[in-house]
Chain A
């Protein structure tokens, strides 16, 4: 037995710097642990991390590719954050993203042609948001009226969405499938009017600006509107919400629909900015699930989400670059492992941010009596 007792005590003070410091320390700890694994595998962690950093952040195409990957992560991060902060756990942004892609590409294929680009793209985005929101609607209604756990329903809807998307391309001659290509099934390309314009000769597109704009919009919604205020109250104290006459069910449904719409937007942005078609292989990247990590690391703060999404986008981007590291073939899984470690440490960091670890000496009866009467 340890000679002392270990106890967690709730902290009574919450200075801002601790909030800001916790994610950084979590990331640092994850890099150290990841480094240990790399070292065990015979790689030099410093070399690998430097290569990772170079590949994602310092080279010109590195940074633009990183931001391209960050764009949908910002949106799925917001999708998670807006409801997680209300203790509503929509973990189905992944599925909502697929539906956003399905709806968005449909709109791009059927409506956008001939429209000015700005309108053509807007139509894709709106359709995507509607698709995502529709996918969140059944779980939202079940949550509000039946009390069904949204964690289970949104997750199950993710798989329905995934197989629906795969069916549309691989399993049928749907309107989304390019029937002129015979050898391998793929999605029909959306017209140029439905595509985001790229910056220069990079892959980075206007979707990033849209995502940042939406992050600001979500921040304003939470901070300044009565809807945002009611969401705060419902999230932190349903009893107080009922007392104040806030329509709890309606607020829960609206919040989940906004979350779903954000997931759908992420899918539409991928279609309009990167895939240009309903491309199951190019969309099934876990962007929705990674959004949960983004939101957690950003402590549900919309501005922090932009930066965290960029950071995690960089780690994903580096995954491929690492494979071609001269002399050292680092497996692509390293980036996934790092991402997992970061989430784990972020959750642990949360505990230590809110609590203080206290070690107290374990005393025996004889000790205590001797001390007390000394």
Chain B
């Protein structure tokens, strides 16, 4: 245990305009889980990419078992027993599990014996708690199962160091549990695990050590036994963090219904992406839609905002029907929509902030740039937006600043008669640093206090639970569970996200649920 399985020594990596990693030191020993923790853009993925051979450090170097080494490519990395499981899977949908496992493996014999491959895949599955049918097609697997295939792929090639890039982002709570069982089995077998995450709870429960990064630098390396979540958060942000939850004080049961949809259904490629969804949203409340990515969140938001038309059902904003009348009708009725794709849908990257402010304003023959420029200037002050100026292109903004510009535009004239009554926000704080996220949450609470109804759609369950007065869980396009946030346990929500209805045997074994 004296030499680390893999190490970065004073590794520096630059990209145009960004110092992604600044003289980073990082070590992992065999048999331990070492987490790289940091906010988006802190440099976690860059460090991992250097460790697996995807990038080469500009300065410094990587050591394997104490020996300096040069990894020119991920294939070099794999040859040295270093494997990366990417956040976005690299699998061929039409191939079977076994075919994907041996795809690109330079050690395969010219004539492939499928049964040998399948036996080994099954063995690996057995040993590390990764049950998977080697003959199943990727297209038929759930996201959690696909992740297992990626891990099996690395183990099949005898990886001794595994890098897991935000592996839990796409998983339900139950699937996370199963993944952690696998991680423990791997460390027990003497593998070194690098775990990348920004979720403090998970980090505390799975890691032996944590390296915290901020703005490309290591801000601390601690053993999980000697720390707590608050301390890690402070290292991550660089200052003390306050977390507070403010629920609606008033009983909103009798307030006006501002957004109502009934039987909303949309079929995409023959499947119901949104399936018979009923939502009632009242003045002064925040409803959070939770769910694992890809369960209909995106199409639902677009239907409610009028961007896409529905196949069946109705949408009413502030009492007037806007079903299939397009985004303008919804907006005129008092709906504001902040999409998850901020740069590209919410904002036009190649236009100035001034022009972006005009995007959702009513059209006259001539555009009112002077007014828009004033509005942007005001927003830059009020929202503390960091930008070179009102004429800077939106593409130059960071995630947090573009979200602020979007909210400034969509929440303008809030509380007046012309202002928005219903605010739909998709992934309100995704990719934002903690400061900007706090600011955005504060804005949404303020909007509620000022009489708006807010709908949050987010894959981040913690965010939904901390922001929303009520939670609805979306599973395969349907509302699987709905209730007041305070009345629902995280287990109940987690089961609903995994598609286990309340009528089912809740005592089902974890393996079955996760499978």
Contact = CB atoms under 8 A, between A and B. Distances in A.
Contacts of A244: 327, 359-360
B358 interface: yes
A236 B60 CA distance: 41
Contacts of B367: 224-226, 228-229
> Which of B9, B348, B350 neighbours the largest number of chain A CB atoms within 10 Å of its CB?
B348
A240 B359 contact: yes
Contacts of B16: 9-12, 356
Contact of B60 (A224, A230, A372): A372
B9 A239 contact: no
Nearest to B358: A229
A369 interface: yes
A247 to B, nearest CB: 9
Nearest to B360: A244
Contact of A242 (B9, B307, B349): B307
Contacts of B364: 226
Interface stretch (B41-49, B183-191, B217-225, B337-345): B337-345
Size class of the B contact interface (CB-based, 8 Å): 35 or more
B470 to A, nearest CB: 26
Nearest to A368: B70
B68 A373 contact: yes
A11 B327 CA distance: 36
A306 to B, nearest CB: 24
Contacts of A233: 348, 351, 359
A237 interface: yes
Contacts of B327: 242-245
A230 B339 CA distance: 19
Contacts of A363: 70
Contact of B348 (A226, A240, A369): A240
Interface string A152-178: 000000000000000000000000000
Given A224-B366, A226-B364, A239 B341 contact: yes
B296 interface: no
Interface in B45-93: 60-61, 68-70, 72
B346 interface: yes
A269 interface: no
Interface in B17-32: 17
B331 interface: yes
A241 to B, nearest CB: 8
A281 interface: no
A240 B347 contact: yes
> Which of A11, A237, A242 neighbours the largest number of chain B CB atoms within 10 Å of its CB?
A237
A369 B69 contact: yes
Contacts of B60: 372
B365 A237 contact: no
A236 B9 contact: no
Contacts of B337: 243
Contacts of A9: 16
Given A229-B367, A369-B68, A373-B68, A240 B61 contact: no
Contacts of B72: 365
A243 B70 contact: no
Interface string B296-310: 000000000111000
Interface in A201-243: 224-226, 228-230, 232-233, 236-237, 239-240, 242-243
Nearest to A371: B61
B328 interface: yes
A243 B307 contact: yes
Given A226-B363, A245-B326, A368-B61, A237 B350 contact: yes
Contacts of A365: 70, 72
Contact of A237 (B68, B70, B328, B344): B344
A237 B69 CA distance: 44
B307 A372 contact: no
Contacts of B348: 232-233, 236-237, 240
Nearest to B10: A372
B459 interface: no
B328 A245 contact: yes
B17 A12 contact: yes
Contacts of B359: 233, 240, 244
Contacts of B326: 245
B345 A239 contact: yes
Nearest to A230: B363
Contacts of B345: 237, 239-240, 243
Contacts of B349: 236-237
Nearest to A220: B366
B297 to A, nearest CB: 16
Contacts of A245: 306, 326-328, 331, 360
Contacts of B344: 237, 239-240
A196 to B, nearest CB: 31
Nearest to B329: A245
Nearest to B76: A365
A244 B344 CA distance: 12
Given A224-B366, A226-B366, A233-B359, A240 B346 contact: yes
A310 B355 CA distance: 32
A11 B17 CA distance: 9
B182 to A, nearest CB: 34
Contacts of B69: 369
Contact of A372 (B68, B346, B360, B363): B68
B355 A372 contact: no
Nearest to B366: A224
A350 to B, nearest CB: 15
A351 to B, nearest CB: 16
Contact of A373 (B61, B305, B351, B358): B61
Given A245-B326, A245-B328, A372-B60, A236 B350 contact: yes
B363 A236 contact: no
A32 B258 CA distance: 69
A243 B9 contact: no
Contacts of A225: 365-367
A156 B341 CA distance: 38
Interface in A229-272: 229-230, 232-233, 236-237, 239-240, 242-245
Given A229-B355, A240-B346, A240-B347, 5 more contacts: A224-B366, A230-B363, A236-B351, A245-B331, A372-B68
Interface of B: 9, 16-17, 60-61, 68-70, 72, 305-307, 326-328, 331, 337, 339, 341, 344-351, 355, 358-360, 363-367
15 contacts: A12-B16, A226-B367, A229-B367, A236-B349, A236-B350, A236-B351, A237-B344, A242-B307, A244-B360, A356-B16, A365-B70, A365-B72, A368-B61, A372-B9, A372-B61
